[in-house]
Amino acid sequence: MQTRLARNAGFCAGVRRAVKIAEEAADEGGRWYSLGPLVHNDAVVDNLKAKGIIPVNRLEDIQVGEDAGVIIRSHGVPPEIIEQAREKGLGIKDATCPLVKRVHEIVASLRGEGYEIVVYGDGGHPEVQAIKGWSDNQARVIASVDEACQLQVVDKLGVVSQTTKDEEEFYAIVDALLPLAKEIRVFNTICSATRKRQQTAREISLGADLIVVLGDPKSSNTATLARECKNTGVKTLQLRDASEIPANCLQGVSTVAITAGASTPDWIIKEVLDRMTEFEEKNQQELEQETINEPEINSGQEKTIGNEAVTEEAITQLASEEEREESFAKMEAEMADFETPSRGDIIKGTVIQVQDDEVMVDVGGKSEGIIPLREMSLKDINSAKDLVDVGDEIEVMVLKWDDDGTILLSKKKVDSQKVLNKLGEDFNAGSIIEGTVTGTVKGGLLVDVGMVAFLPASHVEDGYVKNLDQYIGRTLQFKIIEFNRNKRRGSQIVLSRKELVAEEKNRLKKEFWENIEEGQTRLGRVRRIVDYGAFIDLGGFEGLLHVSEMEHRRVEHPSDILNEGDEIDVYILALDHEKERVSLSRKKLLKSPWEIAQEKYHEGDIVEGTVVRIAPFGAFVELDPGVDGLVHISQMANYRVEKPEDVVSVNEKIKIKIISIDPEQKRIGLSIKQVQDEEEANEVQQYLDEQEDENIE
């Protein structure tokens, strides 16, 4: 007979967590009570009783004292129960399944947003009672499509499910609810472990003659699992433990499949496997005895094995023993899935649920582990949903795996080992690596190279760097100059780009002198500003832009028009190959003020200017920086002017008319008198126009 054990049989992660919390409470001492049975399995509850965890139905049944406390079971409780426990001064340990707690958050949020709430589940189940409590006891509980069809039409409807229900039935109920609301929000809150448990049960049922479902009759998920197995058409037995196995259940059975509900402990599964083996051996012995009692079939028939003559019945007996050994070996192999890996082991798993703050992973056998958000990535992330999806296969490290099966996993530590292995290879090979500067610390920079590395300030460039902040966010190349994966204080990885920068500068410098010529225009970056000019990085070499070559006008200080880091076009004014000097000009690339003035101003224009200088023969007026015009004394007024200062003063803004432009001599003739004449003429004309209008009226 062949025995198949479902991979996902037995304790789920939520039950393992609850049992662990209870056992830890027992170890702490004091008097601890569970509000209702911790899980729906009498064997587990009795085991916890023996350790001092007493189930009670009401808080009033607890003897209040300094050392008294209550454990909230995996099904959860309404919020008012927790508040009452606090008021009574009881210690509280919340063993509510994280997935159930998520349902509480959903219904509370939906209720706050004005949704009517429907819960698919068993109305008397403690998990459903708790869910109702988190909806202010306003949720409607339904157990079938017929009940769903009887609901009233509402504007806004939110739908959730008891975590242990059947998924297909849930979606059938959702279909029935769709016409009953203008807006509906559906949350599939069925536990992924429940779905997977049902799926693996269906898989092992193929070709089986019998399915045994282990679990307490009070367990909702066990009942759902048994119903799912019966739907396969294979004969199904729902048993509490090995003592309930019928003596004749294996007659005519060649293959038996075994699965178990989420609250069924490992020891019950193991006892059932052992009992199945005993039944099989007993049946085999009976068959062998029947064979021995049939002498006419076997008499006189002998075969030789080695040097001995052996009868056919002896050969049959040997073969049967080998088959039993093989069958038992297969069961032991399947039970080996229950073996506990050591701390630090790296194993593969499949993501079965992703929440913002944690990821649930199936790591084989019946085991499911939890990766907290902090253990998901070497980088800071806001949600685990940004990294993995359901169905992804990932490698994880076991941080902690207790005897009760609770697993704490880390993806970050596996990633860290992989990164360290690669960086170690790069260090040994002297390879160039790439990284992004993430921040500054005392004495240098932090660099992301897959993990955080340190770049000393003296190794950022091949010279002194004044402002390290300018490198934050930049992706650069580095060499590893120190690597110590076992280092506990300080950085395991120390980087340098000093040598790389020097090499790159030498390459660019050689390339620069091979291609530079006088008269070229180059794009450069302002590296340093000094009183007499600015040094411009031309991509391999620095040239000097003297202050006199910055503008056509006089520049008081280079910082008046340039900033460090600015990119500007410059003209190669002169080269000295021997002294390796480059003289630059910006002025050459700019239009002169007179060129601009020639385009901007025309004879006859009336413009505004500023008196900048007075001479005996007139006044010089600035039209634009670097462009002056002359108002001759004869053009200052429509009367005789003895001295120009009698009419204008320095820094005075005046209106003038352009009466001549000489581009070659760079001279502009201006007139104040003609502006006044035109204004007087306009006033006279305006007066006449007004008189004419009055006469017409």
Give me the active site residues, please: 127
Polymer length in residues for the chain: 697
Nearest to 159 by CA among 99, 107, 221: 107
Left if phi > 0, otherwise alpha if psi is -120 to 50, otherwise beta: which for 368? beta
- Decide if 570 contacts 607 (C-beta within 8 A): no
Cα 592–Cα 597–Cα 599 angle in degrees, nearest 5? 105
**How far apart are the C-alpha atoms of 429 and 419, rounded to whole Å?**
15
**How far apart are the C-alpha atoms of 158 and 149, rounded to whole Å?**
15
User: Position of tokens 């769903």?
Assistant: 148
- Decide if 485 contacts 424 (C-beta within 8 A): yes
Cα dihedral 227, 229, 233, 236 sign: negative
**How far apart are the C-alpha atoms of 649 and 642, rounded to whole Å?**
14
**How far apart are the C-alpha atoms of 349 and 363, rounded to whole Å?**
4
Nearest to 399 by CA among 344, 452, 461, 337: 344
- Decide if 670 contacts 659 (C-beta within 8 A): yes
Q: Name the 3-class secondary structure at 399.
A: strand
> Among the residues of 88-125, which ranges form H helices?
98-112
**How far apart are the C-alpha atoms of 283 and 431, rounded to whole Å?**
69
Number of alpha carbons in the 13 Å side-chain half-sphere of residue 290 = 6
Q: Are strands 53-56 and 68-72 parallel, antiparallel or unpaired?
A: unpaired
